[in-house]
């Protein structure tokens, strides 16, 4: 098996084809073997380890999943791999990804394995691994697991498989402890649970804080996760909020680590606006560690202008919550996220948490209507994907003519907007993005850059 099995968010692929039960078992067995090696040799070797052993000395591994039909198969395979390596598999059932990240730390377990492909369609699935500190395993730990896969399995003691009782209740308890002072009595909230992992947790969390909660996409059948619903298909929630007279709506993705909002007029409030709202709130209360926020290159230029005006530092990373988290930890900051709604607030938990982020946004509003938000003014944004032959993308992106075109547009918008031209990380595309004070100027800049990309690809 060649490098690299792990992508930017664990092991992910078509369930039953790429991500088979056999592969899941082997990954789990290798991860537990590395956790045991790390504990034996100290934190400098293998997977990070501190505690996480049962009374019998077995590494304990929490296993959670979303609602995909392949989840039960992979859960059984991972549990078998954990047991075969001498570990103790603790089955938490359907649980949001951030809940597993919290609970592995709370219960001092060796690892957590979350079976989910996040916002992908039901045919896909994945395995995300978290260390005892609640953070996703880093490249070094994943490399060690992949190296372990190449070795023959060594016989050892057989472990155990048992349910982890009250896992969902433990997570809800963490939310109540953090947001218990938030009073939502009388607030009419509509939640889109994406037919995914939040379908029980999200409505219960809001109800316990007094909100009048109704839900859509809360009846998972194994195949309807993210299907025309959730944060990647927010139009359903937008229409329902506007038609039903709700005060606010929140849409989660399939595993619950992202959230987008809709105000009472049906206007979408994306991750950029939510992060800006939260940043100003936390700074005002002295809880914005380092007085800074980490975001990605896709974050709207209006966010940067708003943070500069507020005196808050901004660090920019590549696209992906993993890079945002790395930057936060490197700088010692606590808040960051993505336009897509993946928001990380390390004061609460070690990963993005859609439910916690929604509650934090309501806390930041302090009883105001979301329609009254004023944390930032979004600049018009235009994003166009230019498809090309995979082998032609790199030469096109490095062409002097394209570089000159990018510089011209950047210079024209300096201090007022920006442009961005980058390769897609997953498809044979060049993504062209422009932001400017008006729709007309944004469209014109994007059109000129697309023409320059086409020329660089030899098509004009």
> How far, in Å, CA of 98 to CA of 255, rounded?
8
Assigned token pair, 437: 């004070």
Residue 40 has pLDDT above 60, yes or no: no
Assigned token pair, 102: 């919290």
Query: Please, which pLDDT band fits residue 326 given cuts at 50, 70 and 90?
Result: very high
Residue 366 has pLDDT above 60, yes or no: yes
| pLDDT for the residue 442 | 96
| pLDDT for the residue 450 | 96
Burial of residue 372 (number of CB atoms within 10 Å: 0-12, 13-18, 19+): exposed
Assigned token pair, 453: 């990309």
In 3D space, the residue among 118, 116, 147, 135 whose CA is nearest the CA of residue 46 turns out to be 147
Tell me the three-class secondary structure of the chain, residue by residue.
Answer: CCCCCCEECEEEEEECCCECHHHHHHHHHHHHHHHHHHHHHCCCCCCCCCCEECCCCCEEEEEEECCCCCHHHHHHHHHHHHHHCCCEEEEEEECCHHHHHHHHHHCCECEEEEECCCCCCCCEEEEEEECCCCCECCHHHHHHHHHHHCCCCCCCCCCEEEECCCHHHHHHHHHHHHHCCCCCCCCEEEEECCCCCCCCHHHHHHHHCCCEEEEECCCCCCCCCCCCCCCCCCHHHHHHHHHHCCCEEEEECCCCCCEEEEECCCCEECHHHHHHHHHHHHHHCCCCHHHEEEEECCCCHHHHHHHHHHCCEEEEECCCHHHHHHHHHHHCCCEEECCCCCEEECCCCCCCCHHHHHHHHHHHHCCCCHHHCCCCCCCCEEEEEEECCHHHHHHHHCCHHHHHHHHHHHHHHCCCCEEEEEECCCCCEEEEEEECCCHHHHHHHHHHHHHHHHHHCCCC
| Partners of 92 in the β-ladder | none
Percentage of the chain with pLDDT > 70? 94
Query: Please, which pLDDT band fits residue 38 given cuts at 50, 70 and 90?
Result: low
Over range 170-179, report the average pLDDT. 97
Residue 359 has pLDDT above 80, yes or no: yes
Assigned token pair, 431: 């993504």
| Partners of 59 in the β-ladder | 53
Residue 414 has pLDDT above 60, yes or no: yes
Judge contact between 88 and 189, C-beta under 8 A: no
Judge contact between 241 and 269, C-beta under 8 A: no
Residues with catalytic roles? 118
Q: How far apart are the first and last CA of the chain?
A: 41
Average pLDDT, the chain: 93
Residue 51 has pLDDT above 70, yes or no: no
pLDDT in tens, 205-262: 999 999 999 999 999 999 999 999 999 999 999 999 999 999 999 999 999 999 999 9
Nearest 5°: the CA angle 260, 264, 267 is: 50
Percentage of the chain with pLDDT > 90? 86
Q: C-alpha distances in angstroms, 442 versus 196, 424, 429?
A: 36, 21, 20
What's the sign of the alpha-carbon dihedral 160, 122, 253, 439? positive
What's the sign of the alpha-carbon dihedral 149, 153, 156, 161? positive
Residue 2 has pLDDT above 50, yes or no: no
> How far, in Å, CA of 425 to CA of 122, rounded?
21
Pairwise pLDDT comparison (404 vs 152), residue with the higher score: 404
> How far, in Å, CA of 349 to CA of 174, rounded?
10
Q: Can you list the domains of the chain with their CATH numbers?
A: 11-165 (3.40.120.10), 170-265 (3.40.120.10), 269-372 (3.40.120.10), 381-456 (3.30.310.50)
The pTM of the full predicted model, rounded to 2 decimals, is 0.90
> How far, in Å, CA of 384 to CA of 432, rounded?
5
Query: Buried (b) or exposed (e) across 440-458, using 16+ Cβ within 10 A?
Result: ebbebbbebbbebbeebbe
Over range 32-41, report the average pLDDT. 73
Cis peptide before 322 (omega within 30 of 0): no
Q: What are phi and psi of 386, to 5 degrees?
A: -105, 115
Assigned token pair, 359: 């509650």
Residue 50 has pLDDT above 50, yes or no: no
């Amino acid at each position: 098996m060649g490098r690299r099995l792990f992508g930017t968010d664990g092991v992910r692929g078509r369930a039953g084809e790429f991500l088979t039960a056999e592969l899941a078992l082997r990954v789990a067995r290798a991860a537990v073997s590395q956790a045991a090696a790390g504990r034996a040799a100290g934190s400098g070797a293998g997977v990070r380890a501190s505690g996480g052993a049962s009374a019998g000395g077995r590494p304990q591994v929490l296993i959670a999943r979303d609602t995909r039909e392949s989840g039960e198969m992979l859960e059984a395979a991972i549990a078998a791999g954990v047991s075969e390596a001498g570990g103790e598999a603790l089955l938490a059932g359907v649980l949001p990804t951030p809940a597993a990240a919290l609970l592995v730390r709370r219960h001092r377990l060796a690892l957590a394995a979350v079976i989910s492909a996040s916002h992908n369609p039901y045919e896909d699935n994945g395995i995300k691994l978290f260390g005892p500190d609640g953070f996703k395993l880093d490249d070094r730990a994943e490399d060690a697991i992949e190296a372990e896969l190449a070795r023959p399995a060594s016989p050892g003691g057989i472990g155990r498989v048992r349910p982890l009782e009250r896992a969902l209740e433990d997570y809800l308890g963490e939310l109540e402890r953090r947001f218990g002072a938030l009073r939502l009595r009388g607030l009419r909230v509509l939640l889109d649970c994406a037919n995914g992992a939040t379908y029980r947790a999200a409505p219960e969390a809001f109800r316990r804080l007094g909100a009048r909660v109704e839900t859509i996409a809360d009846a998972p059948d194994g195949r309807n996760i993210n299907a025309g619903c959730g944060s990647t298909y927010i139009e359903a929630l937008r229409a329902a909020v506007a038609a039903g007279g709700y005060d606010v709506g929140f849409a989660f993705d399939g595993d619950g680590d992202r959230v987008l909002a809709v105000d009472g007029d049906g206007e979408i409030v994306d991750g950029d606006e939510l992060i800006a709202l939260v940043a100003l709130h936390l700074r005002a209360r002295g809880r914005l560690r380092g007085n800074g926020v980490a975001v990605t290159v896709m974050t709207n230029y209006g966010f940067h202008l708003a943070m500069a005006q507020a005196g808050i530092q901004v660090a920019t990373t590549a696209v992906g919550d993993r890079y945002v988290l790395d930057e936060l930890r490197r700088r010692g900051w606590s808040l960051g996220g993505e336009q897509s709604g993946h928001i990380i607030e390390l004061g609460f938990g070690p990963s993005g948490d859609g439910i916690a982020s929604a509650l934090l946004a309501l806390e930041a509003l302090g009883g105001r209507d979301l329609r009254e938000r004023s944390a930032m003014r979004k600049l018009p944004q235009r994003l166009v994907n230019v498809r090309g032959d995979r082998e032609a993308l790199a030469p096109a992106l490095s062409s002097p003519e394209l570089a000159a075109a990018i510089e011209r547009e950047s210079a024209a918008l300096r201090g007022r907007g920006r442009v961005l031209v980058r390769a897609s990380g997953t498809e044979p595309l060049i993504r062209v993005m422009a932001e400017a004070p008006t729709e007309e100027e944004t469209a014109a800049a994007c059109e000129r850059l697309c023409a320059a990309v086409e020329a660089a690809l030899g098509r004009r």
